[in-house]
């Protein structure tokens, strides 16, 4: 009985224990779920706070924007550094402070202006007062403060006044390469020169989407050699003062690549303080000014005649009498009044002979040749400031005659230099570039415009014209050891509708070393006066010496070694002179 009772008790206990164990399991499972929810909640909060913390760190690394609710974006965008071909900095960004106000927080506008004027005496009081009284949320007061000005204004403790750190453009060389580099506006956007070109190549798009960051922008390297640029600008500015001219300019081009190594035009401006950059006389005359280039155009007239195959270096032209066409009479400046050989036409710069050279080719052939050389087409290059040449709408006989010696058409000095480079490099027209370019890259874009024999003949004529004792006008461009050759150009300017013999635009185009040219140098000088104690003011007296100064001072930088051995100028054909 006891045994049966025990079994029954065990059975009862087992039956009653089973539900208790099930309840404990359910409680344990419910507790696990609660703990999981807590863990997940903690993880979510930690993730949210982690994101917030990360953003705070990110913003902490950015520009100080405390108290600022004005415009953002473009004014803070960076620009890439601009370097010369050797890595020297031509333009870079620096940080500057700009002063702004929150007019709603200004307690006393009169007191604020009075305090600010102690640091900024040039502040426009009327405009500033109007802004401070406007009640708006933001107003610029002064951009581009110096560190000292910022410190002094901060010490004033004016409520509602703050500073914004901005990017400002700085040009270490000042005006040295101003017409090449160009300008930026107050918002650091390129508005002229290579600065504008850089924006047009995609920088503006990067700014618009907020990706113009200084850490991600590669520097832009130019073809310019800063050392040569210094020399060229110094020669140009000095010549303008020495000859009391209204303007002057020069350019140096690599004849094999089309690279511009240096270019200057005076008067110029300081891009760090461009208050006068838009003045009419600050025009970049080398690429944005068009001129009748005078006798430098005879280079192309003679090359055209030679390239036609109808004449050669032994051909002759009758220059014994002036040419009369309509009401115009064409004379030579220093006439020989006899038959001239083609080289004599060139070195004596005969207007009559040049007109007859053009007559050999004909009116349509003349016009086609100048277009082929790019002299009457708008030049293609990176610089935005490029003028379109001018020519007669309908060419007549009189136009062909006058254009043959450099009057009646207008082109830019830079285009004239590019055309001359084609005559020197074997006949290849290579559009100029302000960016680095290899010979191989240049050959891909080059256009054969004259044959190599014509180029060889023109090199001979250039050197002959600069030889001492040859009677040519280019002897003052000679630099011992560098074998310079070139052509002068003295163009009378139009005054009151008529050409004036006293007002001139002078030019000289040269190449060196002339036996195998590497560089073309072209100089211009506008309305020069004779030097004190001298009577001559033609190109041989001013534009040619400018070329000599540039070559003498910069040839070593360009890698051209002097050769002081004896030199003989030999013609590709036997030429005799009767004088």
Catalytic annotation, residues: 295
Rounded alpha-carbon distances, angstroms, from residue 141 to 71, 128, 545, 576: 14, 7, 51, 76
d(CA 466, CA 486) in angstroms, rounded, equals 6
CA distance 320 to 328: 17
**At 425, phi and psi to the nearest 5?**
-100, 15
Nearest residue to 543 (alpha-carbon basis) of 248, 266, 260: 248
Reading the block at residue 146, the tokens are: 């110096």
Q: Which of 446, 423, 430, 433 is nearest to 386 (CA)?
A: 433
- Measured CA to CA in angstroms, residue 452 lies from 281, 422, 424 at distances of 40, 10, 9
- β partners of residue 524: 249, 507
Closest listed residue to residue 434, CA positions, set 509, 508, 376, 384 = 384
Distances (CA, A) of 100 to 151, 163, 509: 14, 6, 53
Pairing of strands 323-325, 89-101: unpaired
Radius of gyration of the chain (CA): 38
> Is the Cβ–Cβ distance between 87 and 221 less than 8 Å?
yes
Residues 115 and 132: beta-carbon distance below 8 Å: no
**Coil, helix or strand at residue 100:** strand
What pairing do the DSSP bridges indicate for beta strands 328-330 and 323-325? antiparallel
Please tell me the distance from the alpha carbon of residue 510 to that of residue 547, in angstroms, as a whole number. Answer: 7
Write the CA distances from 40 to 27, 45, 127, 132, 152, integer angstroms: 20, 9, 59, 53, 54
CA distance 522 to 419: 11
- Provide CB contacts within 8 A for 462, sequence distance 6+: 299, 424, 474, 485, 486, 487, 510, 511, 514
Could you tell me how far CA 209 lies from the centroid of its own chain? 26
Residue 319: asked if its preceding bond is cis (omega within 30°), the reply is: no
The span from the first CA to the last CA of the chain, in angstroms, equals: 164
**Contact present, 475 and 463 (Cβ < 8 Å):** no
**Contact by Cβ (8 Å): 69, 138:** yes
- Distance of CA 120 to CAs 100, 123, 124, 129, 194, Å? 13, 6, 9, 14, 33
Q: Strand, helix or coil at 254?
A: strand
Question: Are 484 and 478 a contacting pair, CB within 8 Å?
Answer: yes
Spatial separation of the C-alpha atoms in residues 113 and 153, rounded to whole Å:
11
């Amino acid at each position: 009985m006891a045994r049966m009772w025990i079994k029954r008790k065990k059975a009862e206990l087992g039956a009653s224990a089973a539900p208790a164990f099930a309840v404990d399991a359910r409680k344990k499972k419910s507790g696990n779920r609660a703990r999981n929810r807590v863990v997940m909640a903690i993880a979510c909060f930690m993730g949210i706070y982690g994101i917030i913390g990360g953003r705070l760190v990110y913003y902490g690394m950015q520009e100080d924007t405390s108290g600022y609710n004005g415009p953002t974006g473009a004014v803070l965008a960076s620009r890439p550094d601009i370097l010369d071909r050797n890595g020297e900095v031509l333009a870079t960004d620096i940080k500057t402070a700009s002063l702004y106000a929150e007019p709603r927080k200004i307690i006393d506008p009169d007191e604020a202006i009075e305090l600010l004027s102690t640091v900024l005496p040039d502040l426009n009081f009327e405009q500033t007062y109007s802004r401070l009284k406007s009640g708006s949320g933001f107003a610029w007061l002064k951009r581009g403060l110096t560190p000292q000005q910022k410190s002094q204004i901060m010490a004033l403790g004016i409520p509602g006044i703050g500073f914004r750190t901005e990017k400002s453009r700085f040009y270490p060389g000042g005006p040295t390469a101003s017409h090449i580099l160009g300008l930026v506006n107050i918002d650091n956007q390129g508005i002229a020169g290579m600065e504008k070109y850089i924006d047009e190549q995609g920088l503006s798009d990067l700014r618009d989407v907020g990706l113009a960051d200084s850490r991600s922008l590669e520097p832009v390297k130019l073809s310019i050699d800063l050392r040569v640029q210094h020399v060229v600008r110094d020669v140009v500015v000095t010549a303008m003062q020495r000859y009391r001219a209204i303007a002057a300019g020069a350019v140096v081009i690599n004849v094999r690549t089309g690279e511009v190594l240096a270019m200057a035009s005076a008067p110029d401006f300081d891009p760090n303080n461009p208050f006068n950059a838009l003045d009419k006389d600050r025009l970049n005359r080398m690429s944005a000014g068009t001129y009748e280039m005078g006798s430098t155009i005879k280079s192309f007239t003679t090359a055209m005649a030679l390239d036609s195959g109808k004449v050669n270096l032994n051909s002759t032209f009758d220059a014994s009498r002036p040419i009369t066409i309509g009401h115009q009479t064409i004379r030579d400046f220093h006439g020989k009044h006899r038959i001239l050989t083609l080289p004599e036409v060139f070195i004596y710069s005969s207007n009559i002979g040049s007109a007859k050279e053009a007559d050999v080719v004909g009116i349509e052939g003349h016009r086609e040749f100048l277009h082929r050389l790019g002299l009457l087409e708008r030049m293609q290059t990176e610089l935005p400031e490029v003028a379109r040449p001018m020519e007669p709408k309908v060419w007549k006989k009189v136009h062909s005659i006058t254009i043959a010696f450099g009057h009646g058409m207008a082109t830019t000095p830079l285009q004239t230099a590019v055309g001359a480079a084609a005559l020197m490099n074997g006949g290849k027209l290579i559009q100029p570039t302000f960016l680095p370019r290899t010979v191989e890259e240049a050959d891909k874009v080059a256009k054969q415009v004259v044959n190599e024999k014509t180029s060889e003949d023109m090199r001979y004529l250039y050197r002959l014209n600069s030889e001492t004792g040859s009677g040519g006008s280019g002897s003052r461009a000679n630099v011992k050891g560098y074998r310079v050759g070139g052509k002068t150009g003295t163009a009378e300017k139009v005054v009151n509708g008529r050409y004036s013999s006293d007002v001139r635009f002078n030019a000289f185009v040269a190449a060196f070393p002339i036996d195998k040219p590497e560089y073309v140098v072209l100089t211009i000088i506008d309305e020069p006066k004779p030097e004190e104690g001298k009577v001559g003011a033609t190109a041989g007296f001013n534009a040619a010496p400018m070329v000599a100064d540039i070559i003498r001072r910069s040839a070593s930088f360009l890698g051209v070694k002097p050769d002081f051995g004896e030199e003989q100028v030999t013609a590709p054909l036997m030429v005799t002179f009767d004088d």
